[in-house]
Amino acid sequence: MSLYHFCQWLSQTPLSIWLREAPYPFPVFLIAHILAIAVFGGMVAMGNLRVLGKALREVPVSEVIGQFRAWKWVGFAILLVSGLFVAMSDPMEYYDNIMFWISMGVLVLAGVNAAIFRYGIYRSVASWDTAAVAPPSARRWAGISIVLWIALILSGRATAFF
């Protein structure tokens, strides 16, 4: 079954029809999606800015990143579930939307980037935890992370306009 046929099948499922036709689910999931960006996006930004030495310089890196890790995962789960429900409200529409696929591509890149940071340079955080500015390789991943998250918000917002 191709992706096209899968989306066709998906759009006929009771869940998709409910999301599309009932008055409340769609706005509720969209509101959850945008509020989650507002509340949790700042935590991602601050973690990266701390590594770059642009915010919370006197706070250890592991404290800024570690203390908000659980919160960021909660935010990410809300974003993922609400985004999935928004997309499932009209699978054929999103199948045809280039911005939707760009945002999904950026999401994967952001995930890969976070994993490279977490299981690479971040393992040695103890040796640069209290430095106002992290080592160059850590700063590189943090910089890429900020760019990818901005690109994710841009392409996600653009999905609604295309």
Partner 1 sequence: MEHAILLLARPEAIPVNPIARWEWVFPVIETLHVLGFTLLVGTVVILDLRLLGWRLHKQPVSRVARDLSPWIWTGIIVQLITGPYLFSGDPFEYVQVTAFRVKMTLLLVALIFHFTAIRAATAPARDMQPLGWRRLAAVVSVGLWVSVVLGGMWIGNL
We find the least distance from the C-beta atom of residue 3 to partner 1, in angstroms, to be: 27
Nearest residue (CB) to partner 1, 29 versus 122: 29
Q: How far is CA 159 from the centre of its chain?
A: 15
Q: Give the C-alpha distances (Å, rounded to integers) separating 124 from 34, 37, 39.
A: 34, 29, 29
Q: Reduce the DSSP state of residue 162 to 3 states and report it.
A: coil
Q: Per-residue string for binding with partner 1, 69-108, x by CB under 8 A?
A: --x-------------------------------------
Q: Which of 12, 58, 119, 123 is the binder for partner 1 (CB under 8 A)?
A: 58
Is residue 35 within the footprint of partner 1 (CB under 8 A)?
yes
Task: Give the helix ranges, DSSP H, for 52-97.
Answer: 61-67, 69-88, 91-95
User: Which among 110, 100, 108, 141 is positioned nearest to 123, based on CA atoms?
Assistant: 141
Question: Which residues of the chain form contacts with partner 1 (CB under 8 A)?
Answer: 27, 30-31, 34-35, 37-43, 45-46, 49, 55-59, 63-64, 67-68, 71, 150, 153-154, 157-158, 161
